[in-house]
């Protein structure tokens, strides 16, 4: 009997959510668009950072059935390019009374989304800084892992934001 009530409650919830105009900002269901994502310029000494951003962006754009990622600019509707301006990975020093427990990773980027057929700039972010705190310990290996995890969070958040900004602009095209 409890199962029947749960099922009825679930169905009512589904009808309410679908009937109230709820719109998931992470889903684009408009006309099909193809996006060419360039390899970002990496002005830092952190090798592979551009590839991490590319993979994360690709993952986000594949969430939509109406957006496809293409490997060549020719035939694409949109082009998304960017640049990693700088990354601040603080070095740590420990003293008797100077104990560091938390530091910030800072990543500065710029990016541009353009409609290829009209050469119209849809989205331009000339300078954006992303930060993430991470804990430090006296163990160097743990600090590297924590730093890498903080950078991973930044890249994921950045990619999600770029995707959401893109999806919000597509209906206006």
pLDDT in tens, 45-96: 999 999 999 999 999 999 888 899 999 999 999 999 999 999 998 765 555 5
3-state secondary structure of 23: coil
Instruction: Identify the residue with better confidence: 121 or 21.
Output: 121
pTM as predicted: 0.80
Residues 6+ apart with CB under 8 A from 154: 105, 107, 130, 131, 132
Rg (CA), the chain: 21
Which domains does the chain show, CATH number per domain? 26-172 (3.30.160.150)
Alpha helices in 78-118 (DSSP H): none
Tens-place pLDDT, residues 134-162: 888 778 788 889 889 999 999 999 999 99
């Amino acid at each position: 009997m409890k199962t029947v009530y749960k099922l009825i409650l679930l169905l009512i919830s589904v009808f309410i959510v679908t009937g109230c105009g709820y719109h998931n900002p992470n889903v684009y269901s408009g006309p099909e668009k193809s996006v060419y994502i360039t390899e970002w310029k990496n002005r830092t000494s952190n090798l592979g950072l551009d590839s991490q951003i590319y993979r994360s962006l690709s993952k986000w754009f594949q969430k939509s059935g109406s957006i496809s990622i293409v490997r060549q600019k020719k035939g694409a509707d949109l082009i998304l390019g960017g640049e990693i301006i700088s990354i601040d990975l603080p070095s740590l020093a420990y003293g008797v009374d100077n104990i560091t427990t938390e530091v910030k990773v800072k990543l500065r980027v710029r990016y541009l989304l353009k409609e290829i057929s009209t050469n119209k700039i849809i989205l331009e972010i000339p300078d954006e800084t992303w930060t993430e705190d991470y804990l430090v310990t006296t163990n160097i290996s743990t600090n590297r892992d924590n730093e890498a995890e903080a950078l991973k969070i930044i890249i994921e958040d950045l990619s999600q934001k770029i995707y959401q900004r893109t999806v919000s602009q597509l209906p206006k095209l």
